[in-house]
Structure 1
Amino acid sequence: MEHMKVFLILGAVALSLSGCARVSSVFQGGGSSSPAPQAEAAPPPPEEIAEIVSAPPPASGSRTADDFDTVTDEQRTAASAAPSGGEQRLGEVVASLGDPTQPGLWIKTSLVDAQQSGRLEYPVRGTSAVVELRPLDGNGGSQVSLAAMRLLEAPLTDLPTLVVYAN
């Protein structure tokens, strides 16, 4: 019985990890020569936070979270500074990790209709970060940049509940 549990757990882990690999479908004609999808370019962030939330794109050979997170230490310090007040709480969202090839500090959420400056708070850790609020098309869950998730100390593989504020 104990061996069966171990087998089932290992099988579930193997199936989960197989989805992470870049596997081309024989039926779709994909191959290793297919170009990697390019991240869509986001419009420039609001001027009042551009220096804090903007970052260069990661290098093409990036593989680790450190490689993809191109936000500087100075930006992290500025983004994690105590809020100055005058912000409006928009609500709570359950968020997932967004596209790691899109640099900077941002959240895509259905709580906003237009791009604007704001802040995220992760109550579990008591952390917050200045971010760019980007509208999310459709009804999907909110997506947060790799740099913002790391700054908030939120688990990258979890679905943390975050509080969203607009300036």
Structure 2
Amino acid sequence: MKCFGAVNLSPMKQHILPIVVLFTLSACGGQFSNPLGGSQTTPAGAGGDSVPAAKPVARPTETGVVGGVGRTAASLDKTTAAEKSAATAAPAGGGAVLGTTVATLGDPTEQGFWLRTPLVKAETQGSVKTTGGAVVQVKLIPIEGEASAGSRISLAAMRALNLSLTDLATLTVSKS
């Protein structure tokens, strides 16, 4: 009986394994990243042409590009100072807490303070509160899904809550 921990490769298998690995790597199209940085090209064909190695793409940030079209978050957010002030004012009276949701950035070109969530069945006014205590008043817009499904929040609301555009924000949702 053989032990599963011990591997005994025949001499033929020892020579085939490296060939299989090299063949598999060659299927990558010659695009290997250079861990030391700098420019790296790999041959593309017999004609001596070369292809530049793939370079990483930066993730969007508040000051970075949104949607790959060269627009920043600040340029997409068209809300006025008065609208921002009204949205971040303390809500009048305590609303009914509908639940907690995890929200991501919704359509950054859609203006206003809103949350698309399965926690409501009809459009209504409400507020969202972060785990850090920041609150913003939003329009609650229903979407399909279980109550435990995630939500999408507007760019203006994310910025008012001081959330990063890439955050998965845990929010407490209340109805006004």
Check whether TM > 0.5: yes
Match of 1:88 in 2: 96
Alignment of 1:73-152 (within 5 A): 73-124=81-132, 126-139=133-146, 140-152=149-161
How many residue pairs end up in the alignment?
120
Deviation at 1:158, TM superposition (A): 1.2
Runs (4+) of structure 1 moved beyond 4 Å?
Answer: none
Which of 1 and 2 has higher RCO (CA within 8 Å, sep 6+)? 1
Deviation at 1:138, TM superposition (A): 3.2
Identity of aligned residues (%): 42
**CA–CA distance in structure 2, aligned partners of residues 72 and 155 of structure 1:** 20
Q: Any stretches of 5+ residues in structure 1 without a counterpart?
A: 1-5, 8-12, 23-60
Q: Is the 8 A contact 1:62 1:68 kept in 2?
A: no
Are 2:163 and 1:154 aligned?
yes
* TM-score normalised by length of structure 2: 0.60
Alignment of 1:15-30 (within 5 A): none
Deviation at 1:137, TM superposition (A): 2.1
Match of 2:15 in 1: none
**CA–CA distance in structure 2, aligned partners of residues 109 and 62 of structure 1:** 29
Cα RMSD between the aligned structures?
3.0
Q: Any stretches of 5+ residues in structure 2 without a counterpart?
A: 1-33, 36-54, 60-65
Greater strand fraction, Structure 1 or Structure 2? 2
* TM-score normalised by length of structure 1: 0.63
